[in-house]
Structure 1
Amino acid sequence: MSQALVIVAHGSHLNPDSSTPTFAHADTIRESGAFDEVREAFWKEEPSFREVLRTVEATEVFVVPLFISEGYFTEQVIPRELRLEGWNVADWDSDGTSADHATLEARDVGKTVHYCGPVGTHDSMADVIIQRAQSVTDDPAVGSGFGLAVVGHGTERNANSAKAIHYHANCIREQGRFDEVQALFMDESPEVDDVTDHFESDDIVVVPLFVADGFHTQEDIPADMGLTDETGTYSVPGTVDGTRIWYSGAVGTEPLLADVILERANDAGADIESAIERVKELTGGVVTA
């Protein structure tokens, strides 16, 4: 039986770079030969969630949301638009960070759909955050002498938004690689505005847990930290209150995220073990503590 992968993401009518990571990771997975078909679909761009299953020939489809946290889109919008019969968020039996997968039918197109939890809550995201720190510092051994700030948007409308940030910060903290690890937010406490107040380290790597670079990651967060100059630009590393700030930009642009997408599909039963190794060769492989 042929297998297809569909990566679903938000997209944007206003930011042309919003979909860039989705297409990049899809291309990496497509090159690996992991699936007979690989498709991308978006809420705010084409192809749309509602139509994407009609573009797939395979009768077994693995759908992986390229979202950071569980919430409105992963629990309501995507299942509704894909017309997954019998969907119930209780099928995931999740505490807000542990959504795994559910197998349902999209009978209007005659397909079995393995609907996965979002990439942003998968345990392997901690590896991607660390890889992002390595990439921005150009130091494979980065950790000792450094603090690490994992930054999320935060919102009072969705408690799970902050849960994912805290979850990965805790996982990395337990590894003991960095001197300090903190979860910070744009719109709730503790705030990224006061980044240097939360660390004693002279060097801080700041990794925003966002899928794509846009207004928040390229303008809001650097400005909130006091990293930008009067022209709105910043250097890496930059200096804030005598502390060096290594600002990485969106974690979703890290090539290693393609591994996490495959891990989600693999957890849901996709027969892709050999392809996972090929993708690791393309992306630099999974970082281990």
Structure 2
Amino acid sequence: MQSLVIVAHGSHLNPDSATPTHTHADTIRKTGAFDEVRTGFWKEEPSLREVLRTARGDDIYVVPLFISEGYFTERVIPRELRLEGWDPDLWDSEGISADTATLVASDIDKEVHYCGPVGTHEAMTDVLIRRAESVTGDPSVGDGFGFAVVGHGTERNEKSAKAIEYHTERVRETGRFDEVKALYMDEEPEVDDVTEHFDSEDIIVVPLFIADGFHTQEDIPEDMGLTDDYRTGYDVPAEVDGHRIWYGGAVGTEELTADVILERAADAGADIGDAIERVRQQTKPTTLVAGD
């Protein structure tokens, strides 16, 4: 019996923080790839400390719905799950290549396959591109468009910046977009000046965040000049300094993120059949008229 446990941050203040986690869990449940799919949170219920007690599987796969390796994935989650003998060196990673470590969770006396975060998996590049398709309503979008991947900034989290640069380079290597650049909230090049960093008239902007919150719903739209007050909303695309800005919000809310969770579990040895292909098909965006 296989159990999948998706662990995330959650929030006592933002009721939407856990929404992507529950949405992706539901998507994966529908595939039938796992006998059960559980969710656990640092700041919400069910808590990280309790979630493994609800898992009934003989093979338990834990996938962190986080963007980067760091404090939560390397310290908080293993501690709360009581993973005996955990050490970040078991991932043999320099910041973007964490894979899997199999350890005993002392609380339930079972082995747990502890996976790297979804945000550093190579499949997250596909989610970023899918986000570009979703926000423009064009499954072939690319020619004539610039693409900005947005992160917090290197001073806040060096490993987070590694994830930003990693996926920016992977999107660039596809050759699909005219320009692909990494922008930051707290460091140069800043997302505030997005139009100064691109020659393309159309610019897609996607924050590499798991859930929409203060930064993605308030700070970034106002900083880019999409609106003077986020509460009044903004157009997609929005006209800024002679450019059209297609703002996609947090990439982790894209339905295809469920695929990355499955990829992580499969890399750790989970038998998921054709679930990845089915999720990719089921989550394809509906073609829209630009501006709808």
TM-score (structure 1 length as normaliser): 0.96
Q: CA deviation at 1:215?
A: 1.2
After TM superposition, the structure 1 = structure 2 runs for residues 24-63 of structure 1, keeping only pairs within 5 Å, are 24-63=23-62
SS at match of 1:273: coil
Shift of 1:229: 3.6
Can you list the C-alpha shifts for 1:114-157, whole angstroms capped at 9, x where unaligned? 00000000001110000000000011111010000000112424
C-alpha contact 1:125 1:168 (8 A) present in aligned 2: yes
- The aligned counterpart of 2:281 is 281
TM-score, normalising length from structure 2?
Answer: 0.95
Residue 266 of structure 2 aligns with which residue? 266
Q: Deviations over 1:22-60 (max 9, x none)?
A: 000000001110101100000000000111000111122
Helix, strand or coil: the match of 1:271? Answer: coil
Q: CA deviation at 1:158?
A: 2.4
Say what the alpha-carbon RMSD is for the aligned residues: 1.2
Aligned to 2:198: 199
1:255 match: 255
Amino acid at match of 1:152: G
In the alignment, the residues of structure 2 paired with residue 243 and residue 74 of structure 1 have an alpha-carbon distance, to the nearest angstrom, of 38
Residues in 2 aligned to 1:49 and 1:20: alpha-carbon distance in whole angstroms: 17
User: How many residue pairs were aligned?
Assistant: 284
Q: Tell me which amino acid in the other structure corresponds to 1:270.
A: A
Once residues 92 and 270 of structure 2 are traced to their aligned partners in structure 1, the CA distance between those partners, rounded to angstroms, is: 21
Q: Deviations over 1:88-113 (max 9, x none)?
A: 10011111111111111113302110
- Separation in 2 of the partners of 1:235 and 1:274? 38
The residue aligned with 2:212 is 213
Q: For residue 38 of structure 2, what is the amino acid of its counterpart?
A: R
- Conserved? CA contact 1:223–1:232, under 8 Å: no
Aligned to 1:67: 66
Contact 1:39–1:52 (8 Å) recurs in 2:
yes
Residue identity over aligned pairs, in percent, reads 73
CA distance in 1, matches of 2:163, 2:262: 19
Residue in 2 that maps onto 1:235: 235
2:118 is equivalent to residue 134 of structure 1: no
After superposition, give the CA deviation of every residue in 1:232-265 in whole Å (9 maximum; x if it has no partner). 4211000111100000111011110000000000
- Further displaced range: 268-277 or 238-247: 268-277
Q: Deviations over 1:189-218 (max 9, x none)?
A: 211001011100000000011111111111
SS in structure 2 of the partner of residue 207 of structure 1 = strand
The 1-side partners of 2:127 and 2:46 are apart by 27
Q: How does 1:14-33 map to 2 (within 5 A)?
A: 14-33=13-32
8 Å contact kept, 1:103–1:114: yes
The more displaced of 156-165 and 201-210 is 156-165
**Which shows bigger deviation, 126-135 or 221-230?**
221-230
